[in-house]
Amino acid sequence: MTAQEPIRRQVYFTGRVQGVGFRFTAVAIAERFEVTGFVRNLPDGRVELVAEGRPEVVEAFVRAVADEMSGFIREARSGDSPARGDLHGFRVTY
């Protein structure tokens, strides 16, 4: 991956992240960024967020979500890989 190639970032948020509007906040924030992806609740209580786009845009988007929801997040773990290009829009999935 080069700095200009789109990336796919997968982030797992832990804490009190379900039942607090996390997913819908992430979707609202995504409207301000050129990203595609999804956000969903996991059965173990975490929230998974996957975003694709230019590295600096994905970084800014994830930071904006983390900043907005900081009172509910205990930990965030993430990893990057090359973008797959199979995502359209940014939405809540179930």
Whether 63 is catalytic: no
> Are β-strands 47-53 and 90-92 bridged in parallel, bridged antiparallel, or unpaired?
unpaired
- CATH number for the domain running over 7-92: 3.30.70.100
For residue 2, what pLDDT is reported? 65
Share of the chain above pLDDT 90, in %: 96
Catalytic residue among 8, 9, 23, 46: 23
For the question of whether the overall pTM of this predicted structure is more than 0.85, the answer is: yes
Structural domain spans, the chain = 7-92
For residue 4, what pLDDT is reported? 85
Type of residue at 42: L
Whether 74 is catalytic: no
pLDDT tens across 67-90, in order? Answer: 999 999 999 999 999 999 999 999
pLDDT tens across 11-31, in order? Answer: 999 999 999 999 999 999 999
| 8 Å CB contact between 82 and 7 | yes
> CA distances (Å), 58 to each of 26, 44, 47, in order?
12, 25, 17
Q: In what order do the strands lie in the sheet with 90-92?
A: 73-82, 7-15, 47-53, 36-41, 90-92
Catalytic residue among 40, 41, 54, 91: 41
| 8 Å CB contact between 43 and 93 | no
